[in-house]
Amino acid sequence: MISVQALRPFSLQLRPALAAAFSVSGCGCATLCWQVVGRVPLTRPAPRPTMAVQYGRKTMTQRREHDMGGLAAGPVAVEEHPVAPWQKTTMAMRVALGKTGRGLIATDELRRAIEDLPPEDYRSLAYFEKWIAAVTNLLVEKGVLTHEEVAARVTALKAAREAALRARG
């Protein structure tokens, strides 16, 4: 296991790569990616209390938002759909930060971070938007990025987007 302190020098090298991945001149979708980051809390939520209900000798607990087992969810759409450039960028970022890249974020950590999203965000965010929020939370949690760095980047990207929209008319 690599310590966060050992990763800190790497994180200084990583910041330009993350900035490039989400630059306005990159895939053109940076604003969307950072809008997701901007609306999802960057702090890990407090542990949710378990609501246990006693049924005879069995105890049932309240489901978390991701736990869909046994629920009627309707048919699954299996048709192909186009992959947007921002989704490809998100996947590339995940691979670069994962085991095949630098090993900074494990698959189980990403899953846990996605499951820790507030229920309203878990329901409203799309698949890759959840990845963006979870990766951002993990990078802050591990000390690779700070809340201030993320907030500054979100502000800069929003300003760049507004300027681009004003320039278009």
46-93 tens-digit pLDDT: 555 555 555 556 555 655 555 555 556 678 778 888 899 999 999 999
Give the C-alpha separation, 51 to 69, whole Å: 18
Tell me the average pLDDT across 109-137: 91
pLDDT of amino acid 68: 53
Nearest to 134 by CA among 72, 55, 44: 44
pLDDT of amino acid 25: 43
Q: Is the pLDDT assigned to residue 119 strictly greater than 80?
A: yes
pLDDT of amino acid 8: 46
What are the domain boundaries of the chain?
Answer: 4-43+85-168
pLDDT of amino acid 70: 58
Of 25-29, 139-143, 151-155, the least confident: 25-29
Fold of 4-43+85-168: Cyclin A; domain 1 (1.10.472)
Averaged pLDDT of the chain: 74
7 Cβ partners below 8 Å, 6+ apart?
Answer: 104, 142, 143, 144
Tell me the average pLDDT across 28-38: 52
Bridge partners, 165 (sequence order): none
Q: Would you say 4 and 97 are in contact if contact means Cβ atoms under 8 Å apart? A: no
What pTM does this model have?
A: 0.59
**Count of C-beta atoms within a 10 Å radius of residue 23:** 14
pLDDT of amino acid 64: 56
133 Cβ partners below 8 Å, 6+ apart?
Answer: 36, 37, 40, 113, 114, 117, 121, 125
Query: Judging by beta carbons within 10 Å of its beta carbon (0-12, 13-18, 19+), is residue 81 exposed, middle or buried?
Result: exposed
Give the C-alpha separation, 161 to 24, whole Å: 8
